[in-house]
Each structure stands twice: as structure tokens, then as C-alpha cells.
Amino acid sequence: MSRTEVVVYPDSGLLAAAAAARLVTRIVDIQAAKGCASVGLTGGGTGIAVLEELRRSSARDAIDWSRLDLYWGDERFVPADSDERNEKQAREALLDHVPLDPKRVYAMAPSGGEFGDDVDAAAAAYAKVLAANAATDGTDDGSGVPAFDIMMLGLGEEGHTASVFPDSLAVHETARSVVAVRNCPKPPPTRVSLTLTAIRRSREVWLMTAGEGKAEAVSLALSGADEVEVPVSGARGYHRTLWLLDRAAAGKLTKVYQTPTG
């Protein structure tokens, strides 16, 4: 049965450091149990800060990077060298500094690349990657999406997660695993995103965010708000959903959560 956990840290710096430490431990445990691990990465200030903390940590060497599959929950459909691109930020923060197997890094296509400016083709291509990997790793349940071990996500002040925005075509999508997103309410306007259906194929979903501006969305999601209006409410792991927050982002929660000491 899926369970939801909430951990609150005093500030965003401690949140990022603790999340990086948790990530090392989980990846190592997963690799010990089944040989390889799969992680979905996120952009945003907190997501990239976690990768930077991991790069600086000596514990990173405990991970067998050659047996790690990396995906993205969403991507800005911009040129490959754009500073707005999640992949570029992740590579600068961590990926270019560890011995990954390049064949196991599954980035979403940029604009101007193989599919030119056709964001629908880019989304369809990523869906094919997911389906092929699900078939290969033996976790396909008919959805065409592999069972990600960990999906790391952030959220916006209005409650979006990945690039699934409130009352958008993406949040209503139930058949496809990956969609093109246009006219996003925050720039850049064109993106590629996993759907909530695909995200829920994750064994664990980690929702990480900081700042007072996120407090209302956090409170609504943890109160069970409708995912159409607050999409992050629908981002759940089928074993575990872990919320990692700083004190400001947890400011409107009615229950008091504390950082574990052990």
C-alpha cells in the first residue's frame, strides 16, 4: 500500500543536503537489491541544488553510476545549449562529473534537434523510449512506462508539477505517457512532460520544494485537493510519496512535522 511521508527541514540549504544524502542511500540500497536503479530528475532551484550537493559529497562514490538509468519528468523545449534546459543544468550540476553510462541517460529532445521544432514528435519519441525500456526491464504492466525507482519532482506556486499545469490538456491526459505542452503560464511556454499517469508508475515519488510561495500549494495537495486544479496532488508513488520541505514551504500545514534525528 502506498504511504505518504512529510519531512520538514529548517531551511532550503539543509533540505538540499539531506535530500542528496537520502538519494545516495536509496540508490545504493536499490542497486544492492536488484543490480540497477532508475531515477527521474527534475529541474528548478531545489532539484538542481540537490544534484549540486550530491556532486560535492564524498558519499557519491558509493553509487555505481554505470548501473543507473536517468530520466526526466519534463523538459523545456529549447535548444540543447540553452541555460533554461533541465538537462544542461543537471549536467553542469552533477552528471558531467560522475562516470555514467551515456546509453543509460535518457534526455528529452531539444528544439532544433532531431525533430526540429516539432514538440509533438519529441514527446512521441520519448514515449517510445519509455515503452522500449519497460519491455526490456520486464516491468511493463501494459502502460508502456517502466517502473521508475525514484521520481524526483518540484512544484509551482499554482500547484503544477513536471509541466502538468492546472486544468490543462496535460492534466486531463490519461492515455499517453508523454505529452507536448504549449502555452505554459510560465516561460518557456513549450515543453515536453510526463503525464500524471506515467509519474504514478514510480515506486517512489519525491516532492521537493522550498519557500513561502509554495506553502499554499503544499497545503492543498496534502489536504487531498483535486489533481485537475492542483496537479501535484496526483503525483504519487505506488509504494511511497515523500515530501521534502523547508519550514517556509510547510508553513500552512496544520500538522507539525519534524526532521528525523536518526
Three cell numbers written together for 242: 515523500
- The reply to whether 220 falls in a domain is yes
pTM of the model: 0.95
| CA atoms of 217 and 223, how far apart (whole Å) | 10
**Domain count for the chain:** 1
pLDDT tens-digit readout, 32-89: 999 999 999 999 999 999 999 999 999 999 999 999 999 999 999 999 999 999 999 9
Where in the sequence is the domain holding 22, given as residue range(s)? 3-203+211-246
pLDDT of residue 139: 74
Tell me how many degrees the CA angle 50-183-129 measures, rounded to the nearest 5: 55
Q: What CATH number is given to the structural domain containing 28?
A: 3.40.50.1360
Judge whether 251 lies within some domain: no
Q: What is the DSSP string of the chain?
A: --EEEEEEESSHHHHHHHHHHHHHHHHHHHHHHHS-EEEEE--HHHHHHHHHHHHH-GGGGGS-GGGEEEEESEEE-S-TT-TT-HHHHHHHHTGGGS---GGGB-PPPPTTBTTBT-HHHHHHHHHHHHHHHHHHHT---SSS----SEEEE---TTS-BTTB-TTSHHHH--S-SEEEE-S-SSSS--EEEE-HHHHTT-SEEEEEE-SGGGHHHHHHHHTT--TTTSGGGG---SSEEEEEEETTTTTT-SS-------
Whether 163 and 170 have beta carbons less than 8 Å apart is answered as: yes
* Cell numbers that stand for 219 in this block: 497545503
* pLDDT tens-digit map of 182-203: 999 989 999 999 999 999 999 9
Asked whether residue 257 is domain-assigned, the answer is no
Report, as an integer, the average pLDDT of 120-134.
97
Q: Categorize the per-residue pLDDT at 131 as very low, low, confident or very high, splitting at 50, 70 and 90.
A: very high
- Across the chain, mean pLDDT equals 95
Cα-Cα-Cα-Cα torsion 120, 169, 47, 65, nearest 10 degrees, comes to: -50
Residue 256 forms part of a structural domain: no
Instruction: Inform me whether the pLDDT recorded for 166 exceeds 50.
Output: yes
Query: Would the pLDDT of 261 be above 50?
Result: no
pLDDT at 262: 36
What pLDDT is stored for residue 136 in this prediction? 86
**In the predicted structure, residue 259 carries a pLDDT above the cut 60:** no
In a domain, 254, yes or no: no
